[in-house]
């Protein structure tokens, strides 16, 4: 007989010095500064490679981003991704971030307490998961009684029918490790070894060869498991500019990058898009690169877009 355990949803954000409030915004609203998203200029928190992609016309057209996150609670975060500071729910921030990187992509929102399967649309689908499913360490993934929502996500990753961008977590441990509370993220475990899941860790800045980036102190790492290492990327989360910290805000970068890739390589499969992001990551923009910390390295949108076609 299988033993089942109860999971708790954990957001992969870090409360900044700005703190959180309980002010109530409209349910499900995720306002994007459209004048900024449509412009040629990128905000300071983005990699300059995003602007280079936009200049070539690659902005996510034809791709659907689905953000599974908190769109209903009264918990608000203060931050600034556009031209003014706002107080928004966690999911409003993550969906805004992904949508700003890929401003012509369609963005669908699903509350992570819905319990319903995530629906896919025609064309490339990219799912953003800036949360974890936490329980006492020591179970196997098969012992978890997943909802229809997580079952659909895990199935898409296993079958390669959608790109899955999963926040690595903020416990300063390996992705499959046990945190100080004795808990593990079982969604991380369930996505291990799948075709299209990418674990995303956080650097403190967008790295360059002239100014290599360092791993954020809170970020989970790739660890020693080869199956995690080969599907682990890092990106810059410049919280000093946005007030938003955590791997919650690393995952939407990869989500946006995948959508931008999909607008160039319109016939590419989710597996091809996933592999292109992983295979073109670079290590020379990271200070003290280590496989067990940084996995494949820092995602490079420019490198990923470089080929005429991908296989």
In sequence order, what DSSP letters do the residues of 60-84 get, joined into one string? -TT-EEEEEE--SSS-EEEE-SSSS
User: Nearest-CA neighbor of 102 among 12, 158, 165, 188?
Assistant: 165
- Per residue in 95-131, pLDDT tens? 999 999 999 999 999 999 999 999 999 999 999 999 9
Please tell me the predicted confidence (pLDDT) of residue 26.
29
Question: Residue 6 has what pLDDT?
Answer: 57
For the chain, the farthest-separated pair of C-alpha atoms sits apart, in whole angstroms, at 58
Kindly list the distances between the CA atom of residue 268 and the CA atoms of 229, 256, 258, 276, 294, in Å, as whole numbers in the listed order: 24, 16, 11, 10, 26
What's the CA gap between 121 and 126, in Å, rounded? Answer: 10
If DSSP states are collapsed to H, E and C, what string results for 231-270? CEEEEECCHHHHCCECHHHCHHHHHHHHHHHHHHCCCCCH
Burial label, 193 (beta-carbon count in 10 A; 0-12, 13-18, 19+): middle
Whole-number pLDDT of residue 82: 85
pLDDT by residue (tens digit) across 63-79?
999 999 999 999 999 99
Tell me which residues of the chain have a pLDDT lower than 50: 1-4, 15-38
pTM across the whole model: 0.92
On the CB side of 134, CA atoms within 13 Å amount to 19
Output the pLDDT for position 35: 43
Note the pLDDT of residue 25. 25
pLDDT at residue 255 in the model: 98
Q: What local confidence, expressed as pLDDT, does residue 7 receive?
A: 66
pLDDT at 24: 23
Parallel/antiparallel/unpaired status of strands 183-185 and 163-167: unpaired
pLDDT of residue 311: 85
| Cα–Cα dist 6/204, whole Å | 33
Structure tokens of 275? Answer: 């592999």
Note the pLDDT tens digit of each residue in 220-245: 999 999 999 999 999 999 999 999 99
pLDDT of residue 40: 54
């Amino acid at each position: 007989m299988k033993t089942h355990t109860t999971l708790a949803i954990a957001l992969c954000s870090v409360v900044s010095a700005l703190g959180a409030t309980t002010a109530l915004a409209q349910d499900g609203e995720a306002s994007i500064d459209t004048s900024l998203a449509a412009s040629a200029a990128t905000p300071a928190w983005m990699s300059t490679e995003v602007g280079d992609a936009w200049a070539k016309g690659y902005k996510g057209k034809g791709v659907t981003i689905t953000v599974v996150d908190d769109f209903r609670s009264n918990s608000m975060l203060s931050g600034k991704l556009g031209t003014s500071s706002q107080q928004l729910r966690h999911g409003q921030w993550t969906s805004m971030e992904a949508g700003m990187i890929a401003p012509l992509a369609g963005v669908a929102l699903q509350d992570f307490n819905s319990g319903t399967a995530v629906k896919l649309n025609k064309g490339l689908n990219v799912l953003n998961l800036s949360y974890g499913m936490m329980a006492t360490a020591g179970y196997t993934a098969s012992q978890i009684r997943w909802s229809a929502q997580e079952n659909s996500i895990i199935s898409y990753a296993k079958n390669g029918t959608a790109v899955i961008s999963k926040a690595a977590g903020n416990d300063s441990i390996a992705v499959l490790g046990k945190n100080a509370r004795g808990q593990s993220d079982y969604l991380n475990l369930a996505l291990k070894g799948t075709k299209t899941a990418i674990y995303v860790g956080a650097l403190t800045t967008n790295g360059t060869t002239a100014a290599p980036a360092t791993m954020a102190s809170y970020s989970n790492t790739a660890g020693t498991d080869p199956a995690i290492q080969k599907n682990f990327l890092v990106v810059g989360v410049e919280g000093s500019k946005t007030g938003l910290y955590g791997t919650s805000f690393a995952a939407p970068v990869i989500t946006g990058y995948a959508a931008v890739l999909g607008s160039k390589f319109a016939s590419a499969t989710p597996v091809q898009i996933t592999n292109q992001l992983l295979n073109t990551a670079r290590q020379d923009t990271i200070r003290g690169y280590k496989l067990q910390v940084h996995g494949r390295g820092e995602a490079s949108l420019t490198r990923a877009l470089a080929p005429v076609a991908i296989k």
